[in-house]
Structure 1
């Protein structure tokens, strides 16, 4: 069972804060550091000191860490042209010595597009499908050959398809709860399928759809990694759980219902229930990035029991 730390920097975090969390992630034995790809805070947060760019952040962390995997849940397809994105991710993979993983989604938060002048197309899924075809196609083109794509949304002609990642195959993550198109896309392109903030029952149902889509595509469904992202709030006693819940503006019972919250034993038990439906990796959404003691407790009292 892999435990990965997942951050939401748009809610308020500088690069130095993210660096401290990433270094703790590495030092405490977690598998990876991931971050969201957003430019605008959500809810009541003022977002200070302001947003940081996902791939610029990961480029810096690539040079400041040595072991952990680095990636996005999920890169917004609306933010970058696919050819440029392929260059950016390949470069960060080189900078990290081959530790990058690439999560790509369609993009959904219209307000941040309005705030920063980013076009927000009405039809995003078709664009996402072409983006995946282009990015993976550029990476997969043999040196000395060229790549072309003539689609509805993007047109590339005789691209040299450079630079190449360090890894022979950068793992691709696709996620979501769509009933038909999302599983089909995952079956074609994904190495990992991720479900964000969903119940056991909904996760089991969606994993089943992805498995069926993989089999229909002639692929072994067990080739994919199945994962969940859930908010985490662990305390050594009830008082500490309550303090951490209050710090992120959440109620304890709601967190226990919808996330991984409570004592280490409670969290281990819930992870075990997700494991029974096929989940082998967890992205622990850490919302209070100043509380590094929280990560130490999870490492020593939760991860050690898995």
Structure 2
């Protein structure tokens, strides 16, 4: 079971905060450091303000050496697909081939309004997501010396040199996720290397994974070629007092976290993660909300991770 640290910097974090967590993530043996791609905080003032996801990852690409880096997930409404393909390819080069791109349709209307980003209706956002995936994968996979064209309803590329190329071949892994019953699984089957279910009970994760497997079969793709992952809020304590302190620090209740997250003692966290393994999940993103508490990650690395690798 891969364990990745997943941060929400829009809630209030500087680049230096993220660098400390990313370097601790690497030193402690986690598989990846991922961050959300948001421009507006939720239920807080978000001070000192948002950091750009791909600028952050570019910096971390030079300040880490082995940990995987990526977004969960970039909104297709934020960036034109051609320039996004360039940015991600460049960060992949800067990291020596450690980048992964999570890409979604976008959902948080308030942040679009706050920063002047167009927010089309849901159907159009999915259309734009599909075209973005076509363009990004097309640019990366076009052989060097060849050019790429795309004539879509929302984006048109003519005679693109399809440069730069990422280090990873044929391209960096792409992550698609969400709860949609039809279009989301179909997009994942067509484009994704990994499908993610975020903050959902085991039963819901199992149902959605089943839909993705069926979509893979429809697309004549072997379902086992897809990695299935889940995201869960992390709140672990060696004692009940430590657990309560960590829950209070993120404004949550211990009982609610035990039910809905990867929460409790290290053994309880292992037990919860194993439930997801049973339905096909092989990677867990641990949403880490208190970025000042590096001892939290140390506890997971020393008491949870060894049990999951047996």
Whether TM exceeds 0.5 here: the answer is yes
CA offsets 1:50-105 (integer angstroms, 9 cap, x no match): 10000000000000000000000000110000000000000000000000001000
Counterpart for residue 295 of structure 1: 297
Counterpart for residue 159 of structure 1: 160
CA offsets 1:31-65 (integer angstroms, 9 cap, x no match): 0000000000001x110111000000000000000
Counterpart for residue 31 of structure 1: 31
Q: 1:264 aligns with which of 263, 266, 272?
A: 266
Counterpart for residue 95 of structure 2: 96
Matching of residue 17 in structure 1 with residue 14 in structure 2: no
Matching of residue 193 in structure 1 with residue 177 in structure 2: no
Cα offset for 1:259?
0.5
Question: Quick one: distance in 1 between partners of 2:271 and 2:120?
Answer: 42
Q: 1:178 aligns with which of 157, 177, 180?
A: 180
Cα offset for 1:109?
0.6
Superposed, 1:1-306 pairs within 5 Å as 1-43=1-43, 45-122=44-121, 123-168=124-169, 169-306=171-308
Structure 2: tracts of 5 or more residues without a match: none
Q: Secondary structure at the residue paired with 1:121? A: coil
Q: State which drifts further: 56-65 or 251-260.
A: 251-260
Q: Secondary structure at the residue paired with 1:124? A: helix
Q: Secondary structure at the residue paired with 2:25? A: helix
Question: Quick one: distance in 1 between partners of 2:306 and 2:207?
Answer: 29
**Number of positions where the alignment pairs a residue of Structure 1 with one of Structure 2:** 305
Question: Quick one: distance in 2 between partners of 1:296 and 1:210?
Answer: 34
- TM (norm. structure 1) is 0.99
Question: Quick one: distance in 2 between partners of 1:20 and 1:180?
Answer: 40
Q: Secondary structure at the residue paired with 2:66? A: coil
Q: Which of structure 1's runs of 4+ aligned residues deviate more than 4 A?
A: none
Cα offset for 1:121?
1.3
Question: Quick one: distance in 2 between partners of 1:270 and 1:6?
Answer: 17
Question: Quick one: distance in 2 between partners of 1:91 and 1:227?
Answer: 26
- TM (norm. structure 2) is 0.98
For the aligned residue pairs, the C-alpha RMSD in angstroms reads: 0.5
CA offsets 1:164-192 (integer angstroms, 9 cap, x no match): 00110210000001000000000000000
